[in-house]
Amino acid sequence: MSASTPKKGIVKNILVVLGCIFVAGIVIAAVTDSGKTESPGADKETIQKNEPAVTSEAKAEEKTADTEKDAIITKLKAKAKRDWPDDYSTQEYWVNEQIESYEYMKTIADSDPIKKRARKDWPLDFSTQKYWYDEQIEAKERIQ
């Protein structure tokens, strides 16, 4: 054997290793790029410009809703303090349950007659409103 044979083997091994590294780089780049949500060539300014602008009317509605919610939370906390004056964990639990139920009831159209009745019968008890509303809807579905 000549002295060039071992050199050819080393060169061949180096080329195989470099080829594997190249392929691995392509695979990693493909996996990394697949997680991106931006389209090619789009920068963040372009994406932000395509988002709908929030109107002053929408901001006013949101502010009114926040003000209404804050007022209700204040009333709920006052009721909780009256009902459980020295039981802070119960106050916290009850207020959080009421807020969750309030947010649920806000998803129902105000024109819904069942919701109107629930609001009339239990004006500051949102968990009861939610429970009664859900029961009425389920019963309505069963008898139809």
Cα of 58 vs its chain's centroid, Å: 20
Instruction: Read off the pTM.
Output: 0.57
Cα dihedral 54, 57, 60, 61 in deg (nearest 10):
-90
Is the pLDDT score of 75 beyond 90?
yes
Would you give the DSSP letter of residue 38?
S
- Angle (nearest 5°) at CA 109 between 104 and 113: 105
Round to the nearest angstrom and report the end-to-end CA distance of the chain: 94
pLDDT tens for 114-141 read: 999 999 999 999 999 999 999 999 999 9
Neighbouring CB atoms inside 10 A of 105's CB total 18
Tens-digit pLDDT profile for residues 25-74: 666 666 565 555 544 554 545 445 555 566 777 777 777 778 999 999 99
